Each structure stands twice: as C-alpha cells, then as structure tokens.
C-alpha cells in the first residue's frame, strides 16, 4: 500500500456502519485470517470519518474488543 505507514482504522474507514469504531490495536490473527483487536466504540457514531473526530454520544467512547474479518 504505497510503502508507508497506515492507521489500522484506515482499513474500515468510509464504511458508514464502521463509523462507530476507531480501531487502535491488532493483537492476533488466526489461520482463517480473522484479526482480534481493540477499538474505541461510540454509540451513534463519531462526528465524521476523520481519525480525530469527536464522539457524538453523551456517554463518550468506550474501549471494546473487535473482530476484523
């Protein structure tokens, strides 16, 4: 991908349903190619798809486990 560093979040950016998550870490990958990781979750989604967007939820963002397929 252009010989440069990428945010993990770039892998899911631009998909509306994924705007509730900001992927911050990948911890493992299994033989089927499923990646286990960690993300910030914002109920209702972030203000935009930008990496530094604010969480529009009154509760704020929470740290959750995610499965990337």
In this predicted model, what pLDDT tens digit does every residue of 9-51 receive, in sequence order? 877 777 777 889 999 898 899 999 999 999 999 998 999 888 7
In this predicted structure, what is the pLDDT of residue 9?
A: 80
The whole-model pTM stands at 0.78
Tokens describing residue 39: 């993300």
Unique residue bearing structure tokens 């972030």: 46
**Please, are residues 40 and 24 in contact by the beta-carbon 8 Å criterion?**
yes
How far lies 47's CA from each of 24, 36, 60, in Å?
Answer: 18, 25, 12
Tokens describing residue 34: 């499923």
Residues 6+ apart with CB under 8 A from 43: 20, 57, 59
In this predicted structure, what is the pLDDT of residue 69?
A: 81
Instruction: Work out the pLDDT band at 1, boundaries 50, 70, 90.
Output: low
């Amino acid at each position: 991908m252009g010989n440069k560093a990428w945010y993990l979040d770039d892998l899911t950016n631009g998909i509306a349903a994924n705007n509730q998550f900001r992927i911050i870490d990948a911890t493992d990958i299994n033989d089927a190619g499923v990646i286990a990781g960690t993300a910030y979750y914002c109920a209702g989604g972030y203000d935009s798809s930008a990496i530094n967007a604010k969480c529009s939820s009154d509760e704020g963002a929470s740290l959750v486990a995610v499965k990337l397929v």
